Every structure is written in structure tokens, then in C-alpha cells.
Amino acid sequence: MVTAEQLALEAWCRGEQVFLWPDGVPGGAFAAQAVPDGWPQTQIRNTAQPYVRVFRSASPNGRSLLVIPGGAYTFVSIANEGVDIARSMTAKGYTVFVLVHRLPCEGWDYPSKVALQDARRALALIGEMSAALGTDATQVHVLGFSAGGHLAASLATRPGDETTDASSLRSMALIYPVISHEKRIGNALSTQSLLGDDPSADMIALHSPAQHVSADTPPGFFVHALDDADVPSENSLLMVGAMQAAGRPVDLHLFETGGHGFGLGDPHLPVGHWIELYCAWLDRNDDKPKSARDAR
């Protein structure tokens, strides 16, 4: 009998694998970590060569979507937050790039920097591939889940380096995102994995996306379940508050039930319809001229 994990892996391998750093990965030497027996293959660890999987639409609309799965910065969850999302969004015309970034705990010289460095490189790569893929380099969106939501928010709010510019993002969507590192609100494993056991106040501030929202931050779409015990909904509310204070457009959806890590969500519950709300929001956002989207 074929398992759900096997089906997800088969779907995953149908996407084109494009390495982010074919001429050499920056940031020191990779050091593989022990993986527990029976660890799911759809929760990727030990990434020496970060990459994106590219999923093309049979009826492309010219728009690109960078998807960043979660995993508390200890793995990358490619099933419900990767291939499921790619399947749904390619059906709606999007060219989807699912990111498998480096993990902080795997030997890199600057652990807290590598995931964002990979996300920035992925964004630049989407622009570089636009002509070959027939996509519009001005219509690129990012969608992140849980710790991947933290990474997506960081990509959207922290200035790029010489290789990329996050201002090219048309929008960000954060689904049950980690935003805060406060003990009462944040996710302890995500914070420990990214920042270590005793991060300084400056490190916490640097990696707190709500503190970096500005007039240049792209419009945001937020989804959270109020019964999320792993990443409380206060994380989304904190980011939405920062967006509103900066005069940035936001669309917030809070659901009574859903828990954490629901991906597309149970189709029998209201939370299972967030993807339709998201696509409608994307249509409205992309139909507006840039001056209207950025209006305060």
C-alpha cells in the first residue's frame, strides 16, 4: 500500500530542483547532524546544498510564489506546507518555488544568518528565471508557514544585500507565523534553534520582524487559529499591529479552531477555506497599480 508520505515524496520529486548556490555555498562548512530512527522523509534535515523545487502551472498566469515551509528551524516540512500548497496554487496559475533552506544547527559559521541568506538568494533566483519561465518579475509573492512565516516576514522587512532587494516582493502571506521571541508568545524551539540558548537583546530585536516593518513593507495576508497551542495567535496580531502602525495594507483571518501546522486545513472547517480567501486577496492586490497598493 502506498503511504501518504510516499505520495508526497513522488509529488515533490516532480518539481525541478534548482540549487541556490551552484558555485559554492557561503557561510562555512556543513556538518551533518544525527537523525532519529524513523524520521519522516518529508521533514527535511541535513541540507548541505539549499535549493528550490519549481512547480509549473498548466495554465500560467505569470505570477510567482515563493513558499517557505515551517519546521521550527530544525527541519523543513515539505508535505502539507510544500507540495500540497504547490498543487493548489499551480492549479490557480501560479509558478511555485518551494524553498529548502539551510538550518542553523548544521555547522554554519553564522547560524542565525543562513536561512535568510538562502531566502534572499531564492528571491533573486526567481527574478533571474522569469524570462525562461515566462513569469513577470514584478509579480512575486512570498507565503510562509510557522517558522517559515518568520523567515518570510524577515525577508519582507529586512533590507536585502547586494544580490537581491526585498522591495521586489508584491506581497507576503504569513500562516500561523512565529513573530515574537518572548517566552509567553513565541515558540521556544524556533527561538532556540535560530538564536541559541542565550541570545542577546540585540539579537532578539534583529530577528523580530514586527520591529522592522516600514513604509516599504509589502502588503500582508495573515491566517491564524485561535486554538494554536504551539504558536499563539498573538504572533500574527503583533505583526498586524506593526503593519497598521506603519500604514501598510493587511488582511487578517482568525479562526476559532485549526490548531497549528494545518497546511491547507480541514476542508470541513472554516479554516480549510483560507486558500480561497488568499487567492481572492492576491487578485485584488495584483489588479491594483503599485501606487494604490502602497497607499497608506
pTM of the model as a whole = 0.95
Give the pLDDT of residue 159: 72
CA dist 80 and 96 (Å) reads 14
Give the pLDDT of residue 294: 55
Backbone angles phi, psi at 274, to 5 degrees: -65, -30
Pick 42-289's CATH classification: 3.30.499.10, 1.20.140.10, 3.40.50.1820, 3.40.50.2300.
3.40.50.1820
Which distant-in-sequence residues (6+ apart) come within 8 Å of 73 by Cβ? 103, 104, 105, 115, 147, 189, 190, 193, 194
Domain ranges of the chain: 42-289
Give the pLDDT of residue 167: 55
167, 137 Cβ separation under 8 angstroms: no
How would DSSP label each residue in the chain?
---HHHHHHHHHHTSEEEES-TT--SSS--------TT--TTEE---SS-EEEEE--SS--S-EEEEE--STTT-EE-IIIIIHHHHHHHTTT-EEEEEE---TTSS-SSTTTHHHHHHHHHHHHHHHTHHHHT--TT-EEEEEETHHHHHHHHHHHS---TT--GGGEEEEEEES------TTTS-HHHHHHHH-SS--HHHHHHT-GGGG--TTSPPEEEEEETT-SSS-THHHHHHHHHHHHTT--EEEEEESS--S--TT--TTSGGGGHHHHHHHHHHHHHHS-HHHHT--
Would you state the cell numbers that stand for residue 99, as one nine-digit string? 524553498
Full pLDDT tens readout for the chain, 296 residues: 889 999 999 999 999 999 999 999 998 899 999 999 999 999 999 999 999 999 999 999 999 999 999 999 999 999 999 999 999 999 999 999 999 999 999 999 999 999 999 999 999 999 999 999 999 999 999 999 999 999 999 999 997 654 445 557 999 999 999 999 998 899 999 999 999 999 999 999 999 999 999 999 999 999 999 999 999 999 999 999 999 999 999 999 999 999 999 999 999 999 999 999 999 999 998 766 555 545 53
150, 209 Cβ separation under 8 angstroms: yes
Give the pLDDT of residue 234: 98
Give the pLDDT of residue 161: 55
Give the pLDDT of residue 149: 98
CB count, 10 Å around CB of 280? 11
CA 34 vs CA 37, 63, 195, 270: distances in Å: 9, 39, 20, 39
